[in-house]
Amino acid sequence: MKLSEICKKINIKFTDADIEITGLHTLNEATSSQISFFNDKKYIDQLATTKAGAVLVSSEYAQLLPSHSIALTTDEAYLKLALASKIFEHKISTATDKPNTGNNCQIDTKASFGKSVVLGDNVIIMAGAYIGDNVSIDSNTLIYPNVTIYHGSVIGANCIIHAGTVIGSDGYGFAHTKMGEHIKIYQNGNVVLEDDVEIGANATVDRAVFGTTYIRKGSKLDNLIQIAHNCDIGEHSLLAAQVGMAGSTTTGRNIVMGGQSATAGHLHLEDFTTIAGKGGVTKSLKGGRTYAGFPAIDHKTWLRLQAKLAFLVKRK
């Protein structure tokens, strides 16, 4: 869509030379045919280096943009992003089509498919599963009953997805008006599960706002887990039941998270980090260590703290 048309739809004044826009992305990832946004000083250094064709930005910071980026000046950049995201949303349809299947696939007659689904060899899809538009599932993957895989998701080879799990549902993203109304940010990214991933029953992996939510190869997720939008879970990681990962959490390889542990958003856990059960991660953590408690601290320190607390209680 022409940038001038988008600006008209989201009520932003536009007088520059027109360009064609294909979507939205972050300052760091946007291309010359995409719109980005700036509403957090934490990313101010990215204004000068962005390749975005246009940026939603307040007049205070517009001069920091490179000459190739058009400043779309507004004091509500995040809200305007939400309004623009609807323009590029996936058009929901109940239309169905037969999947393009490889050799020796087993597909229950009660499984449902959207359009342009591609299956590799030896894929098994059981009753009640729904596979949305433009999903690809690689060879030797097993989809148990009542799994839902939303449009655009990519499932690798040798994966197992257990009953009731949802892959690619919308991330939890809203912009807020000055009156406190909540405006949906349409989640236009996708989910990628790499090879040899197993996900337990009734888990959810949210699609990205833009870009991709990743579960990297060899990782194993237990039942009842929530992976939020734009997370990137490293290779060969183990997540126990009821783990919750807030948006844009990234990890190195071989992390371990005990039951009911969780992270705040926009954090990074380095390689071989272990979080004990019920641990609450509030900041990025160095790898090769075990953490416990809330906020999560070194496990040995946490044990000493618990011992001192128990001693104080006993003395009373």
Write out the catalytic residue numbers.
229
Structure tokens at 223: 């039942």
**What would you report as the CA-atom Rg of the chain, rounded to the nearest whole angstrom?**
22
Alpha helices in the chain (DSSP H): 3-9, 77-87, 299-315
- d(C-alpha 130, C-alpha 286), whole Å: 40
Closest residue by Cα to residue 82 from 137, 148, 10, 14: 10
Amino acid at 303: L
DSSP 125-194: E-TT-EE-TT-EE-TT-EE-TT-EE-TT-EE-TT-EE-TT-EEEEPP--EEE-TTS-EEE-----EEEE-
Distance of CA 101 to the CA centre of its chain: 28
Closest residue by Cα to residue 142 from 221, 198, 204, 58: 198
Residues 6 or more apart whose Cβ sits within 8 Å of residue 281: 261, 262, 263, 264, 267, 269, 275, 291, 295, 296
Residue count of the chain, please give it: 316
Residues 6 or more apart whose Cβ sits within 8 Å of residue 41: none
